[in-house]
């Protein structure tokens, strides 16, 4: 890919967007708002950090086709939470799956991590990461974790 960024650069920009989300919109986590609300706001900050890329929420197209991956020998239609890419090309930088939970569900998280690996293997994303936001916890100084897949 012509615009490939290093994982260090992507990680630094991702963390900067997360920092801005926590600085400006921590109330979304504290109040336990719906995951889509948090994802949308986070994506707006990612767009600032990745100005030469398209940052889309729940984007379900692979050029002109429906985005699909194979899991357990079965084709499944997918809608990633956030992708950073160039629309209408095969330039796919980062796929992000997000969970915003008060009590993390291991089974649901494991499914998201499998999807992320398939995004890389089957759809050509350079990078993929899983972000867990812990909601309704005002005592946690860093209410998220990032896991690179």
Q: Which pLDDT tens digits describe the chain residue by residue (149 residues)?
A: 446 899 999 999 999 999 999 999 988 888 877 889 999 999 999 999 999 999 999 876 666 666 666 777 677 777 889 999 999 898 999 999 999 877 767 888 898 999 899 989 988 999 999 999 888 776 766 789 899 99
List the Cα angle 93/98/100 in 5-degree steps: 160
The phi-psi region of residue 106 (left if phi > 0; otherwise alpha if psi is between -120 and 50; otherwise beta) is alpha
Residue 142 tokens, joined = 């860093």
> What is each CA distance from 80 to 8, 117, 132, 137, 138, in whole angstroms?
22, 12, 15, 26, 28
Note the pTM of the prediction, 2 decimals: 0.87
């Amino acid at each position: 890919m012509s615009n490939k960024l290093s994982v260090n650069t992507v990680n630094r920009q991702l963390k900067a967007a997360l920092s801005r989300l926590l600085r400006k919109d921590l109330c979304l986590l504290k109040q336990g708002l719906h995951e889509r609300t948090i994802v949308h706001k986070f994506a707006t900050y990612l767009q600032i950090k990745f100005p030469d890329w398209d940052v889309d929420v729940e984007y379900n197209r692979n050029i002109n086709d429906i985005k699909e991956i194979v899991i357990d020998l079965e084709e499944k239609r997918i809608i990633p939470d956030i992708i950073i890419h160039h629309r209408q090309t095969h330039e796919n930088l980062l796929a992000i799956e997000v969970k915003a939970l008060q009590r993390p569900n291991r089974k649901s998280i494991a499914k998201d991590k499998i999807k992320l690996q398939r995004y890389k293997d089957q759809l050509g994303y350079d990078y993929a990461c899983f972000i867990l936001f812990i909601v309704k916890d005002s005592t946690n100084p860093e209410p998220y974790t990032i896991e690179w897949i």
